[in-house]
């Protein structure tokens, strides 16, 4: 589960209450100023604890990260109680938006009950650690982590091996099932405490339009691209059927997900050699070029930085290069999934990614550092990311039309 500062649980109030006569815009401005200052302090502590937990997965770091998250949530609950009095007050557009974004700048809100707040923090930390340290052991002498299995999915063309790897990684998530169910229950309860019907409604309310209007707009956009996607899906299915045979790939319907070259079937670029038209321009092999140039992991990232410098962005701070995680350590478990971090809302920008020298990671590393720039200047009340609606969530909702072969 990709994690950055805005993922820290912030349970800010949304219960409609009539404003008190003495409440003024000046009081709202003072509240926002104080809330941002106090939240920044606890967010930084929680972010640093979370960084250590993600890059040194142990029982102790899980406890420390959970406690720090719990403390941040407790403060948010306190601020939520204070924020109630501003409901219905006529405020400037700037202040109104800050109050709205304070309410919406959360991923999974905690319930107001302190025991459930602590429970949610523990579950979140536990699931992330399980994910980061997860391994599949095909036999007692060998175990594969996500990095190794992702490479197998991308490179192998043995259907039986691909299916074993695909299923093997999903044994890691099975023990999290009960935790995740409870996680969803607590998140829905927290969302209802904020005045939303459920967590999904809260997520769809982040985009300057009502939740139902956002869903309708996404449906409209999907219908525009659907004919192209359906055609591409059918073409890829046909080409994979030619490679793997009719027994594995049906003539119609879903494509077996383990044959698409990505652990989550979210990118099909790794099977381009299997599905490209016979007369297509072969282009170039980026992975081969990266290897030939003998690029290391840091230089991969510097390519991305130079691109953004050419667009007018500021250079990344020197601490970015000394504090980020670029290579998977050999001596400990870490959460390798790529993510961007801003630990102090100032200059302590980092990425966490176990980089391999290949085309996919070349693109991913550049995309990951790009998210650091907008995070850098965000105060807690404005630290939201509307672009997420049109990246992974929408892709997951509409484009993941594949399934494993059972």
pLDDT, residue 98, reads 82
pTM of the model: 0.72
How much is the average pLDDT of 217-228?
A: 97
268-273 long-range contacts, CB within 8 A, separation 24+: 268/236, 269/359, 269/360, 270/153, 270/154, 270/155, 270/360, 271/236, 271/240
pLDDT, residue 195, reads 81
pLDDT at 199 over 80: yes
* Segment 116-164, tens digit of pLDDT: 989 999 999 999 999 988 999 999 889 999 989 999 999 999 999 999 9
* Segment 239-263, tens digit of pLDDT: 999 999 999 999 999 999 999 999 9
* Segment 6-49, tens digit of pLDDT: 333 333 333 344 444 457 889 989 998 998 888 888 989 999 99
Burial of 53 (0-12, 13-18, 19+ CB in 10 A): buried
What are the backbone angles phi and psi of residue 257, rounded to the nearest 5°? -65, -30
pLDDT, residue 226, reads 97
Which position has the token pair 């049109």?
A: 390
Cα→Cα distances 11→75, 186, 238, 331, Å: 9, 12, 49, 37
pLDDT at 334 over 70: yes
Structural tokens at position 119: 């429970």
**CA dihedral of residues 132, 138, 143, 145 (deg, nearest 10):** -30
Q: What is the 3-state secondary structure (H, E, C) of 51-70?
A: HHHHHCCCHHHHHHHHHHHH
pLDDT, residue 43, reads 85
Cα→Cα distances 254→71, 158, 229, Å: 45, 19, 13
* Segment 278-287, tens digit of pLDDT: 888 877 889 9
pLDDT, residue 217, reads 97
Question: What is the share, in percent, of the chain residues with pLDDT greater than 70?
Answer: 84
pLDDT, residue 395, reads 28
pLDDT at 2 over 80: no
């Amino acid at each position: 589960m990709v994690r950055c500062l805005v993922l820290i649980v912030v349970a800010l109030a949304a219960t409609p209450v009539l404003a008190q006569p003495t409440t003024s815009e000046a009081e709202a401005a003072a509240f926002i100023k104080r809330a941002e200052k106090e939240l920044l302090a606890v967010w930084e502590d929680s972010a640093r604890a979370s960084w250590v937990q993600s890059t040194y997965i142990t029982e102790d770091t899980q406890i420390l990260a959970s406690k720090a998250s719990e403390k941040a949530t407790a403060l948010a609950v306190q601020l939520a109680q204070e924020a109630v009095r501003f409901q219905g007050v006529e405020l400037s557009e700037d202040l109104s938006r800050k109050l709205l974004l304070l309410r919406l700048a959360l991923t999974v809100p905690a319930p107001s009950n302190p025991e459930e707040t602590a429970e949610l923090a523990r579950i979140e930390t536990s699931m992330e650690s399980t994910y980061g340290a997860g391994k599949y052991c095909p036999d007692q002498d060998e175990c594969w982590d996500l990095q190794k299995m992702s490479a197998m999915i991308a490179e192998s063309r043995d259907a039986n091996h691909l299916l074993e790897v695909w299923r093997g990684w999903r044994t890691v998530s099975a023990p999290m099932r009960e935790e995740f169910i409870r996680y969803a229950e607590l998140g829905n309860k927290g969302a209802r405490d904020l005045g939303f019907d459920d967590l999904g409604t809260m997520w769809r309310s982040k985009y300057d339009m009502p939740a139902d209007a956002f869903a309708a707009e996404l449906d409209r956009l999907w219908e525009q691209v659907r004919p192209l996607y359906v055609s591409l899906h059918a073409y890829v299915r046909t080409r994979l059927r030619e490679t793997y045979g009719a027994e594995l790939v049906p003539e119609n319907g879903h494509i077996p997900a383990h044959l698409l070259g990505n652990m989550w079937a979210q990118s099909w670029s790794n099977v381009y050699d299997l599905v490209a038209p016979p007369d297509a321009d072969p282009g170039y092999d980026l992975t081969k070029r990266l290897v030939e140039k003998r690029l290391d992991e840091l230089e991969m990232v510097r390519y991305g930085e130079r691109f953004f410098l050419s667009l007018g962005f500021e250079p990344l701070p020197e601490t970015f290069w000394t504090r980020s995680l670029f290579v998977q350590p050999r001596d400990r478990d870490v959460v390798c999934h790529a993510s961007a971090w801003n630990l102090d809302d100032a200059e302590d920008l980092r990425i966490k990614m176990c980089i391999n020298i290949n085309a996919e990671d070349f693109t991913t590393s550049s995309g990951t550092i790009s998210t650091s720039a907008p995070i850098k200047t965000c105060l807690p009340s404005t630290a939201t990311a509307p672009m997420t609606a049109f990246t992974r969530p929408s892709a997951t909702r509409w484009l993941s039309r594949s399934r494993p072969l059972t």
